[in-house]
């Protein structure tokens, strides 16, 4: 199980990464995260939709309605600003990951 704090911190980079691959709707994003994480990340709709709204208000993603199987679904897409933000977040997370790898593997530490 992953702590709530780490889940919260990783939600935005995960959402932006998934939307970089393809436009998608909230429920499918939840299912994709569950599948990719092997079930260790269990997002709830009530916690994801406020994040999507926040990203949309910040201008990182946009939304549109698409009719599918006789019902309207709200799809989200990553825009140019979102791609830039994702690139920045990727660098930050890569740097943090490298620090943790170094700390947890003494053989890799610089002396």
Domains, the chain, ordered by start: 4-108 (1.10.10.10)
- Give pLDDT tens digits for 46-60: 889 999 999 999 999
Q: In angstroms, rounded to a whole number, what is the distance separating the alpha carbons of residues 42 and 32?
A: 10
User: Residue 108: what pLDDT?
Assistant: 67
Cα-flanking dihedrals φ and ψ of residue 74, to 5°? -90, 115
- Give pLDDT tens digits for 58-92: 999 999 999 988 999 999 999 999 999 999 999 99
Cα-flanking dihedrals φ and ψ of residue 47, to 5°? -100, -25
Answer yes or no: are the C-beta atoms of 78 and 25 closer than 8 Å.
no
Helix residue ranges, H only, the chain: 4-21, 26-36, 45-57, 80-104
Tokens linked to 1: 């199980």
User: Residue 77: what pLDDT?
Assistant: 98
Answer yes or no: are the C-beta atoms of 16 and 58 closer than 8 Å.
no
Statement: residue 36 has pLDDT above 90? yes
User: Pick the residue with more confidence: 1 or 99?
Assistant: 99
Residue 18: band (very low, low, confident or very high) from pLDDT cuts 50, 70, 90: very high
């Amino acid at each position: 199980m992953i702590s709530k704090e780490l889940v919260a911190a990783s939600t935005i980079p995960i959402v932006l990464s998934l939307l970089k691959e393809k436009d998608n709707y909230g429920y499918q994003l939840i299912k994709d995260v569950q599948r990719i994480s092997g079930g260790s990340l269990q997002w709830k709709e009530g916690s994801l939709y406020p994040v999507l709204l926040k990203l949309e208000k910040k201008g990182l993603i946009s939304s549109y309605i698409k009719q599918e199987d006789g019902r309207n679904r709200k799809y989200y897409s990553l825009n140019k600003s979102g791609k830039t933000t994702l690139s920045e977040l990727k660098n930050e997370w890569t740097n943090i990951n490298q620090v943790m790898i170094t700390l947890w593997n003494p053989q890799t530490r610089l002396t």
